[in-house]
Structures are given as C-alpha cells and as structure tokens.
Amino acid sequence: MAKRAGRLTAAAPAKSAPEPARRARTSTRKALAALSGADPVLARLIEQVGPLPDAREGRPDPENHYGALVRSITGQQLSVLAARAIYGRLTARFGERPPTPQELLDDDPEELRAAAGLSRAKVSYLRSLAEHVLSGELELERLDELGDEAVIAELVAVKGLGLWTAQMFLMFHLERPDVLPVGDLGIRRAIERAYDLPELPLPAAMEEIALPWRPHRTLACRYLWRSLQNEPG
C-alpha cells in the first residue's frame, strides 16, 4: 500500500502490454513450440537465431494495403537498405506518405523516376497499380476477406506484381501464418544449409520438408531468412 495526502491508497498497478500485444506474443510462443516439436532441425535453428525483430517495423499500417503494395513494388530486386532508401525518397515527395493513386497518375513519370531513384519499369508498375485501384479492378478493401490463393490471383493481375511480391504481401502485410514462397532464393539456400542438402531444393522437396511446419510456415520462413541475415525488407 502507498501512503499519500495523509491516507492510505492502493499502489498504482504496474503497466502491462496492451491485450493485442500480449495475445501476439502468446501466439508466437505457441507457434515456436509447435515448430520446434515438429522438426528438430528447425528447433536448432530457432534456438541459434533467437528472437526475431518486429516484422512490422518500417512498414505501412496494416490497414494501408495500397501503401504496402507501393512499398513492395519500389523494393523489388533490391537489398533491404536500398529498398528503404528509395521508398523513403518516394514518400518524401508526397509529404512523407505514399502517394494516392490519383497523385501518382498526375505526377510526371520522368520527374517521379528521377526524384525517387526508380527505374522506368517500376514507375510503370506503380502507375498500373494506381490504375487498377481507381478503376475498381483491384478492390483493396476485399483482400482481408479473401483466402491466400484468391489474394494472389487479385494481385498478380496488376503489372509488376508477381507471385513472389504477392507472397511477401501475404506474409508481412496481411500477416498470413502459413505461406511458403518456394521460389524465394533465400529460403531455398537456407533450407539447403540447414538440412545439409547437396544442392538447392526444388519446390516439391521444399513442400515436403515444410509439411511438419504447417500451419506456421510463415514463421518458419522468417527464421530461415534470418539464419542468412537476409529477411525481406
């Protein structure tokens, strides 16, 4: 008990983490326990890597699907640092936020390219995304309601949004828990090393190795990427 102003008062309770944060930590602990119990190789990897950084750090808000896709396009085929730098220059051009679809289409493509350090191809991809959103062909507000394969089908209809980009959107923005990007070179290389394979595994072999990880393949992949220090930015 604490004494204040001449009378006893109850001591203020210690602040605790918000309920969603506690639930997320509990969910992650359970997923890690399940992965470790299902696969001894992955269990050793999880122990070696230790806690993962916050996957949402530096990314658009969970509700901002458009901003996340803009970020994905600008960062394609770039290192984490280069991707963040270019995205930063792009948002700086629009008041430290992603441009709206109309703002992007109204901007001069060559000026946008030069200001942000984008390739001409990526400028065309960003414009394609903006056009699909404005026309209603891509209904971003529906993506949360769709299954993983349906989300992929919606996204790959946009020029410049391929399978890998759609899978990264699922994993890091929509935070879908059971995604396995079998075409990702980092995942292939990490599996090759962790499982002491003679060569990079093909998709069928990766699917078989990852069977025990379900329904937590996204988390398993994050540990595999982290083992190589190359988690997508």
Residue 179 CA to residue 135 CA, distance in Å, equals 29
Distance CA 122, CA 31 (A): 36
Q: Phi and psi at residue 98, in whole multiples of 5°? A: -65, 145
Do 166 and 156 form a contact (C-beta atoms < 8 A)? yes
What does the DSSP 8-state code read for residue 12? P
Neighbours of 148 (CB within 10 A): 16
CA-based nearest residue to 179, from 157, 155, 158: 155
184 is catalytic: yes
Choice among 39, 144, 148, 184 that is catalytic: 184
Whether 212 contacts 39, CB under 8 Å: yes
Task: Tell me which residues are annotated as active site.
Answer: 184
